[in-house]
A and B are shown apart, each in its own frame.
Chain A
Amino acid sequence: MDSSGFIDLFDEWTDSALEWVSDNGEFLFDSIRQVLEGLYAGILWLLELPPFYLIALIVALVGWRLVNVWFALLSGVALALCFSMGLWPETMSTLALVLTATTLALVIGIPIGIMAGFFPALDRFMEPGLDLIQTLPPYIYLLPAIALLGYGPATALIATVIVAVPPAIRLTSLGIRMTPKEFIELGEALGMTPAKMFFKIRLPFALPSIMAGINQSLMMAFGMVVIAGIVGSGGLGETIYGAIRTLDIATSINGAIAIVVLTMVLDRITQSAARLGTGRKS
C-alpha cells in the first residue's frame, strides 16, 4: 500500500468517525448548543439593556478607579466612537461572546490548573495536549465544531473556549507550584489544615499568576472570536468577514477599530485589576 492510500484511509476514517459522533450524539450536542446559546443570549441581553452611553460611562468609571483618569476618558470616547460608526450592536455581541467564552474557559481551566499544580504527573500528562492546542492554527477548531453544533454562536463559543483554556490552566498550575517553600513551612508550623494552607497561603501567592492567566485567556478569546466570524458567530467578526467578502474596505476597517478598542479596554482593566487584587508590592 502506498502512502497516499494510507492517507486516504485515515481521512475516510476521520470523516466517518465525525459522522458517527454527530449522528449518535445528536441529543448531547443539541443540549450543549442550547446551553451555550442560552448563556450567550443572557449576557447579551444584559449588555443591550442599558443605552450605549451608560455602558461607556460604566467602563470609564471602572477605568478611572482601576487605571487612571486619562484611560477613563480615552476608553469612554473610544466606545462612543464604536457607537457613532454604527457598530454598537455588533460590539456588544462580540463582548458577550468573549465574556461567555472566557468565563467558561476559566470555569474549566482554573480548577484543572489547581489540580495540575498539586499533581505534577497530571501537569506532565497535559503538557503535550496544551502544546498541541496552542500550536495548531485556531480556525482548525471551527470545522469539527461546525459539524457537531452547526452554524452559529455556539460553534464560535466552543472554538473560542478551546483556545482560551490553555493559558488559564498553565498559569494557574504555575502559580500553585510556585508557592515559596518558607511559607509552606510557616503554614505547617502554625498548625494549618490542608484547606487553610490552600486558601490562606497557596491561593494568595498564586493569585498574580492566575490573574495573568485570566488576562491571557481573555486576549486569546478576542483573537478567536474575530476568526469565528466565518461560522456565523455574529458581532464584529462577522461584520469584518462580510466586509472582506464584498471588498468593503471601509467597513472592515471600522470593524477592526471597534475590535481594537474593545480589546485594549478589557486588557488594561483586567491587568490593573490583577495588580490591585494581588495587593501591594515592595
Chain B
Amino acid sequence: MKTVTADINDVLIDCQSLWKVFGDKSAAAMKSIKERGLGKKEVLKEYNCVVGVSEASLQVRRGEIFCIMGLSGSGKSTLIRLLNKLITPSAGKVLVKGRDLAALSPVDLRQMRARNIGMVFQSVALLPHRTVLENAAFGLEVQGITKPERNKTAVAALEKVGLADWVNRYPGELSGGMQQRVGLARALASDPEIILMDEPFSALDPLIRRQLQDEFRQLTKALGKSAVFITHDLDEAIRIGDRIAIMKDGVIIQTGTAEEIILNPADAYVAEFVAGISRLHLIKAHSVMRSVAEFQQSAPNSDIASLARTTPDADIDELITLTMQSERDAIAVVDNGQIVGVVTPRSLLMGVKGPSAHDLPAASTNWS
C-alpha cells in the first residue's frame, strides 16, 4: 500500500487500526486480541464473540471515490457503519475532517451526520407513506429547515438524479432503480461532503446497475463530493472507484488503484478475484513497456525514432489497435517529448495475461 503523501487537510476520513468485535463479552475479547494476539477462531471459542473488522486502516481523500470490495461476511458493511459511528468501534480511531468521532458529544455527532456525512442504503429505506419529494427532503426536515426551502433544495436534488417529473409520486410507484435515485437525492439534498454508499446498486438488474454506476460517478465528480462505496462486485468497484480496498474476513488485504491491484495482487485470493477482469482498459502503457535500453539490446537494428508513438496513459486496447495499424512491431511511449519506453507484442501479451497465480504469495492465512 502506498503511503499517503497528501496534505492532512485533504484526508476527509482517516481510519486508524479499527476493530469491531461483536458479542456480549466483546470488551474482554478485544483485550485478549491486543494482549495475547488471539485469532478469530479462538475469540469465537473462548468469548463467543465474532470479529467483524480487524485492524482496518484507510484514508479517504477529498474528491475521491473509495470503494471497499469484499464478499458477504467480509466485514465491509460493518466497516462503513464505523465511519459515521452507526456502529461504535471496539478499538481504533475514526477521524472525519480531522475530528475524532469518539470524542464528539451526541449533539455534535448528530450535527456531523446531518451535515457532513450522507448515507445511501441497499434497502433504500424510503418512507412508504411519504411522496418522493417528502422523502428527498426528509434529511432537511430533520434538520428543521422550513418547508419551502427544503422543497426547493429537494427538487434540485431530484433534478440532478433525473426524477424531476416524479416528485408527487409515492415510492411504491417507482422501479427499484428509481427508488435508489431517490435515496441518492435524499443524501445529496443535505449537501454533505462525504457520501457513504452501502451496496446501493446490488439489488438492481445489471443494465440499470451499469447506468446508475456511471451516473453516480459523474455526479459525484461534478459536485466535487467524496464517497465511500461498498460493493461485492469487483467490476463495479473498478468502474466507480478511484481507489479500491479489498476486504476478506474483516481484514483489508490490499488498497490501491484498479491498475495497481490488477498488476500486483497482494496474494492469491486477490489474484483469483482479478483473474476474470478484462485488463484491456485497465493496464496502461507505462506498466507494460520495456525500457529503451532493453529494447535496443534485443533488436539492435531497429530505429526507435521512426516507431509509431503513444502516451504512457494509453491502455492495452489502444496499444493493440496501434500495433495492428503499424508496419513495425513496436510502439514508442513518449512522455514530455522523450521516449521513455517501448511496447512490443511480447509486452502486450504479458499485459493481457498478467502474472500467473503461482508466482504470488499464498492467500493470507493469519485470520482463517
- Which residues of A line the B interface, CB within 8 A? 180, 182-183, 185-193, 196, 200-201, 204, 278-282
**A201 — nearest CB in chain B belongs to which residue?**
B127
Q: Are B129 and A185 in contact (CB under 8 A)?
A: no
- A residues near B127, Cβ cutoff 8 Å: 183, 201, 204
- B residues near A185, Cβ cutoff 8 Å: 86, 121, 125
Q: Are A189 and B84 in contact (CB under 8 A)?
A: yes
Give B198 Cβ to nearest chain A Cβ, in Å. 9
Distance, CA A188 to CA B173, complexed state (A): 26
Q: Are B128 and A279 in contact (CB under 8 A)?
A: yes
Interface size class of B (residues with CB under 8 A): 20 to 34
Task: Name the residue in A186, A196, A281 with the highest tally of chain B Cβ atoms < 10 Å from its Cβ.
Answer: A186
Q: Is B265 an interface residue (CB 8 A)?
A: no
Within 8 A of A (CB), among B114-143: 114-115, 117-119, 121, 123, 125, 127-130, 138-139, 141-143
Q: Are A191 and B110 in contact (CB under 8 A)?
A: yes
Q: Are B142 and A278 in contact (CB under 8 A)?
A: no
- B136-171 interface bits toward A, Cβ cutoff 8 Å, 1 = contact, 0 = none: 001101110000000000000000000000000010
- A residues near B118, Cβ cutoff 8 Å: 189
Q: Are A182 and B125 in contact (CB under 8 A)?
A: yes
Q: Are B111 and A191 in contact (CB under 8 A)?
A: yes
Distance, CA A281 to CA B170, complexed state (A): 9
Distance, CA A15 to CA B231, complexed state (A): 71
- A residues near B109, Cβ cutoff 8 Å: 191
Q: Select which of B123, B130, B142, B170 is within 8 A of A191 by beta carbon.
A: B142
Q: Select which of A189, A279, A281 is within 8 A of B86 by beta carbon.
A: A189
Q: Are A182 and B123 in contact (CB under 8 A)?
A: yes
- B residues near A186, Cβ cutoff 8 Å: 119, 121, 125
Distance, CA A131 to CA B110, complexed state (A): 41
- B residues near A193, Cβ cutoff 8 Å: 110
Give A276 Cβ to nearest chain B Cβ, in Å. 11
**B129 — nearest CB in chain A belongs to which residue?**
A279
SS class, residues of chain B in contact with chain A:
mixed
**A183 — nearest CB in chain B belongs to which residue?**
B125
**B108 — nearest CB in chain A belongs to which residue?**
A191
Give B111 Cβ to nearest chain A Cβ, in Å. 6
Distance, CA A29 to CA B41, complexed state (A): 65
Distance, CA A186 to CA B117, complexed state (A): 12
Shortest Cβ-Cβ A-B pairs, 9 listed: A279-B129, A191-B114, A191-B113, A191-B110, A189-B119, A282-B172, A182-B123, A186-B125, A182-B125
Q: With A189-B86, A189-B119, A190-B142 given, is the CB distance from A204 to B129 under 8 Å? A: yes
Give A159 Cβ to nearest chain B Cβ, in Å. 37
Q: Is B263 an interface residue (CB 8 A)?
A: no
Given contacts A190-B138, A200-B142, A281-B172, 11 further A-B contacts (CB under 8 A): A180-B125, A182-B121, A182-B123, A182-B125, A188-B113, A189-B86, A189-B117, A190-B139, A191-B115, A279-B129, A280-B172
Distance, CA A136 to CA B119, complexed state (A): 51
Q: Is B275 an interface residue (CB 8 A)?
A: no
- A residues near B138, Cβ cutoff 8 Å: 190, 200
Q: Is B112 an interface residue (CB 8 A)?
A: yes
- A residues near B172, Cβ cutoff 8 Å: 280-282
- A residues near B86, Cβ cutoff 8 Å: 185, 188-189
Distance, CA A131 to CA B332, complexed state (A): 86
Q: Are A189 and B113 in contact (CB under 8 A)?
A: yes
- A residues near B130, Cβ cutoff 8 Å: 279
Within 8 A of A (CB), among B178-203: 190, 196
- A residues near B115, Cβ cutoff 8 Å: 191
Distance, CA A200 to CA B119, complexed state (A): 18
Give A203 Cβ to nearest chain B Cβ, in Å. 11
- B residues near A281, Cβ cutoff 8 Å: 128, 172
Distance, CA A267 to CA B128, complexed state (A): 26
- A residues near B117, Cβ cutoff 8 Å: 189
Give A210 Cβ to nearest chain B Cβ, in Å. 14
Distance, CA A189 to CA B124, complexed state (A): 13
**A186 — nearest CB in chain B belongs to which residue?**
B125
- B81-118 interface bits toward A, Cβ cutoff 8 Å, 1 = contact, 0 = none: 00010100000000000000000000001111111011
Distance, CA A180 to CA B208, complexed state (A): 27
Distance, CA A190 to CA B172, complexed state (A): 22
Question: What are 12 A-B interface contacts by the 8 Å CB criterion?
Answer: A185-B121, A186-B119, A188-B113, A189-B118, A189-B196, A190-B113, A190-B139, A190-B190, A191-B142, A191-B143, A279-B129, A280-B129
Q: Are A280 and B170 in contact (CB under 8 A)?
A: yes
- A residues near B84, Cβ cutoff 8 Å: 189
- A residues near B128, Cβ cutoff 8 Å: 279-281
Distance, CA A194 to CA B324, complexed state (A): 66
Q: Select which of A183, A196, A204, A282 is within 8 A of B142 by beta carbon.
A: A196
- A residues near B121, Cβ cutoff 8 Å: 182, 185-186
Task: Name the residue in A182, A191, A282 with the highest tally of chain B Cβ atoms < 10 Å from its Cβ.
Answer: A191
Distance, CA A192 to CA B139, complexed state (A): 9
- A residues near B142, Cβ cutoff 8 Å: 187, 190-192, 196, 200
Q: Are B119 and A191 in contact (CB under 8 A)?
A: no
Distance, CA A180 to CA B190, complexed state (A): 23
Give B319 Cβ to nearest chain A Cβ, in Å. 45
Give B127 Cβ to nearest chain A Cβ, in Å. 7
Distance, CA A226 to CA B125, complexed state (A): 46
Give A130 Cβ to nearest chain B Cβ, in Å. 29
**B171 — nearest CB in chain A belongs to which residue?**
A282
- B residues near A279, Cβ cutoff 8 Å: 128-130
Distance, CA A117 to CA B172, complexed state (A): 28
Distance, CA A54 to CA B110, complexed state (A): 53
- B residues near A189, Cβ cutoff 8 Å: 84, 86, 113, 117-119, 196
- A residues near B139, Cβ cutoff 8 Å: 190
Q: Are B110 and A192 in contact (CB under 8 A)?
A: yes
Distance, CA A279 to CA B86, complexed state (A): 29
